[in-house]
Amino acid sequence: MDDFEYVRPGSVGEAVALLAEKPGRARAMAGGTDLLVQLKVGRRTLDRVVDVKGIAELNEIHVGSDGGITIGAAVPCHRVYDHPAIVAGFPGIVDSASIVGGIAIQGRATLGGNLCNGAPSGDSIPSLAVVGAVAVIAGPSGRREFPVSEFCTGPGQTVLGADELLVAIRLPAPPPRSFGHYLRFIPRNEMDIAVAGAGAWVALDEAGVVTAARVVLASVAPTPIEVPDAATAIIGTRGEATALEAASEAAKAAARPITDMRGTQAQRRHLSGVLTKRALAGAIARARGEHVPGAHEAHRVHASATH
């Protein structure tokens, strides 16, 4: 690992200036659980690491009067899944935040870092995208907002400029009877990168019919990908088996996976379908008021039942 300068600014303006000074040779660091690993193994070299955890605004979780929530870019996962308003309104995001790494990683890792790292396998990106999350970005010329669903442009690539900083992720107020669910497939029960993942979100009318839906897949294309056909297949139904099957087929058709050490093309395509079906069923059940355990909760229950 090469030497680099470590700085810890106290404001967004200072951080942006520190990034802008060394275009492409400086990067923001939140939890560092991606960045430090990349530096250590030599996948990336930098002259300057800008630690953003000292910026007050980036450490806040703000619940708006309309029920929307703004999560600062340096807020670690454990604060996300322990936050009552997020747990109540955005269980899909809780699903994701509670499976990133293990307990130690969750004490550091952030949703912002997960998003800015731009990995196709990032577990929080589908969950954020399906609820219409927006990235709040600061740069030398001010602030802009950008939808999370279009934030990633390729493996490790995002719309962020070299001199831009992610300030927060803004979750719009959820419509009534709307919930998300995220499921990923990993061969082990913890500490793995998704072979495939699916985030689903639905809104129901009072009669229990799906009026809106979104599905975003992880790990089956160069970026997280949205599957509008899966949403179309489930909208107007009550989540009957045939509708779930149709959504599953749409996901399989949309997947553009590769074969690597984590899984094969065929396996990932197949899993896109299975996970879409299961994530949609879970989201619908949640929207109906049923308790659907997150992946994390589920395997803990499973593990203790067998002990």
Ligand X SMILES: Cc1cc2nc3c(=O)[nH]c(=O)nc-3n(C[C@H](O)[C@H](O)[C@H](O)COP(=O)(O)OP(=O)(O)OC[C@H]3O[C@@H](n4cnc5c(N)ncnc54)[C@H](O)[C@@H]3O)c2cc1C
Give whichever of 171 and 244 is closer to other proteins, judged by the CB atom: 244
CB-based contact 30:53 (threshold 8 Å): yes
User: Which positions from 262 through 291 interact with other proteins, judged by CB under 8 A?
Assistant: 262-264, 266-267, 269-271, 274
Listed residue (238, 252, 249, 250) closest to 281, CA to CA: 238
1 binds, among ligand X, other proteins, none (CB under 5 to 8 A by kind): other proteins
Q: Which of 34, 95, 163, 226 binds ligand X (CB under 6 A)?
A: 34
177 binds, among other proteins, ligand X, none (CB under 5 to 8 A by kind): none
Position of tokens 């990349």?
38
Give one DSSP letter per residue of 78-120, joined into a string.
HHHHT-HHHHHH-HHHHHHHTTSS-HHHHTT-BHHHHHHHT-T
Taking residues 193 to 232 in sequence order and writing x for each that binds other proteins by CB under 8 A, - otherwise, the string is: x-x-------------------------------------
* Helix, strand, coil tally for the chain in percent (to 5): 35, 25, 40
Structure tokens at 102: 């293990």
Helix residue ranges per DSSP H, the chain:
12-21, 35-40, 77-81, 84-89, 91-97, 103-106, 111-117, 124-130, 228-234, 241-254, 265-287, 295-305
- In the complex, least distance from residue 271 CB atom to other proteins, rounded to whole angstroms: 7
260 binds, among other proteins, ligand X, none (CB under 5 to 8 A by kind): other proteins
Quick check: 69 binds ligand X (CB under 6 A)?
no
- In the complex, least distance from residue 33 CB atom to ligand X, rounded to whole angstroms: 3
Give whichever of 88 and 303 is closer to other proteins, judged by the CB atom: 303
CA separation, residue 6 to residues 12, 36, 100, 198 (Å): 16, 12, 25, 36
Q: Which of 26, 29, 243, 255 binds ligand X (CB under 6 A)?
A: 29
267 binds, among ligand X, other proteins, none (CB under 5 to 8 A by kind): other proteins
What count of other Cβ atoms lies within 10 Å of the Cβ of residue 161? 13
122/111 Cα distance (integer angstroms): 9
Q: Which stretch binds other proteins (CB under 8 A): 44-52, 58-66, 142-150, 180-188?
A: 180-188
Listed residue (147, 130, 294) closest to 215, CA to CA: 130
Give whichever of 199 and 263 is closer to other proteins, judged by the CB atom: 263
Position of tokens 């009534």?
176
- In the complex, least distance from residue 205 CB atom to ligand X, rounded to whole angstroms: 33
Cβ density class 190-199: b for 16+ within 10 Å, e for less: eeebbbbbbb
What three-state secondary structure class fits 124?
helix
Q: Which stretch binds ligand X (CB under 6 A): 81-89, 94-102, 142-150, 281-289?
A: 94-102
- In the complex, least distance from residue 176 CB atom to other proteins, rounded to whole angstroms: 30
Residues that bind ligand X (CB under 6 A): 27-35, 37, 52, 73, 99-101, 105, 108-110, 112-114, 116-117, 121-123, 160, 165-166, 191, 193
Residues that bind other proteins (CB under 8 A): 1-3, 41, 185, 187-193, 195, 260-264, 266-267, 269-271, 274, 299-300, 302-303, 306-307
